Structure 1
Amino acid sequence: MRRAERSAASADRRGFLVGSVVALAGVGLTACASGAATADAAVPNDADLGFCTDMAFHHEQAVAMCQRVLGADTGGAVQNSAAEILQNQSYERGLMHAWLAEWGQSTAPPDTVMGWMGMETPAASMPGLATHAQMRRLAELTGIEKGREFLELMRAHHVGGVHMADAAVDAVAITRVSTLAQQMSRQQTYEISLFDDLLTGLYA
Structure 2
Amino acid sequence: MTTAARPRGVLVLVAVLALLVGVGVGGTIAVGRLASTSEVTDFGADAGFARDMQTHHLQAVEMAFAVRDDTDDEAVRTLAFDIITSQQQQAGQMYGWLVQWGLPQTASRAPMAWVGGEHAAHGASGDGMPGMATPAQLDELRAARGVEAERLFLRLMIAHHEGGVQMADAALADARTDEVRTLAGAIRRAQTAEITLMEQMLAERS
Please give the TM-score of this superposition, normalised by the length of structure 1: 0.86
CA contact (8 A) 2:28 2:186 kept: no
In structure 1, the residue corresponding to 2:30 is in which secondary structure? Answer: helix
CA contact (8 A) 2:68 2:80 kept: yes
Tell me which residue corresponds to 1:37. 33
Determine if the alignment matches structure 1 residue 162 to structure 2 residue 165.
yes
Task: Go from structure 1 to structure 2 and tell me whether the alpha carbon gap of 1:126 and 1:27 turns closer, same or farther (over 3 Å shift).
Answer: closer
Determine if the alignment matches structure 1 residue 101 to structure 2 residue 99.
yes
Tell me which residue corresponds to 1:8. 6
- C-alpha displacement of 1:61: 0.3
Tell me which residue corresponds to 2:200. 197
Tell me which residue corresponds to 1:176. 179
Return the alpha-carbon distance in structure 2 between the equivalents of residues 104 and 47 of structure 1. 15
Return the alpha-carbon distance in structure 1 between the equivalents of residues 13 and 190 of structure 2. 14
Task: Go from structure 1 to structure 2 and tell me whether the alpha carbon gap of 1:180 and 1:31 turns closer, same or farther (over 3 Å shift).
Answer: closer
In structure 1, the residue corresponding to 2:23 is in which secondary structure? Answer: helix
Task: Go from structure 1 to structure 2 and tell me whether the alpha carbon gap of 1:65 and 1:109 turns closer, same or farther (over 3 Å shift).
Answer: farther
Q: Which runs of 5+ in 2 are unaligned?
A: none
In structure 1, the residue corresponding to 2:186 is in which secondary structure? Answer: helix
Q: Report the more deviating stretch, 59-68 or 18-27.
A: 18-27
- C-alpha displacement of 1:25: 3.2
Q: Which runs of 5+ in 1 are unaligned?
A: none
- C-alpha displacement of 1:12: 2.2
Once the two structures are superposed, what CA deviation does each residue of 1:112-135 show, in whole Å capped at 9, x if it has no partner? 21111157336xx42100001100
The structure carrying a bigger helix percent of its residues is 1
Aligned residues: 196
Match of 1:137 among 140, 161, 164: 140
- C-alpha displacement of 1:197: 1.4
Determine if the alignment matches structure 1 residue 120 to structure 2 residue 122.
no
Match of 1:56 among 45, 49, 54: 54
In structure 1, the residue corresponding to 2:24 is in which secondary structure? Answer: helix
Task: Go from structure 1 to structure 2 and tell me whether the alpha carbon gap of 1:48 and 1:141 turns closer, same or farther (over 3 Å shift).
Answer: same
Task: Go from structure 1 to structure 2 and tell me whether the alpha carbon gap of 1:169 and 1:50 turns closer, same or farther (over 3 Å shift).
Answer: same
Which amino acid is 1:203 matched to? R
- C-alpha displacement of 1:141: 0.6
- C-alpha displacement of 1:22: 3.0
- C-alpha displacement of 1:10: 1.7
CA contact (8 A) 1:26 1:91 kept: no
Tell me which residue corresponds to 1:187. 190
Runs of 4+ off more than 6 Å? none
- C-alpha displacement of 1:106: 1.8
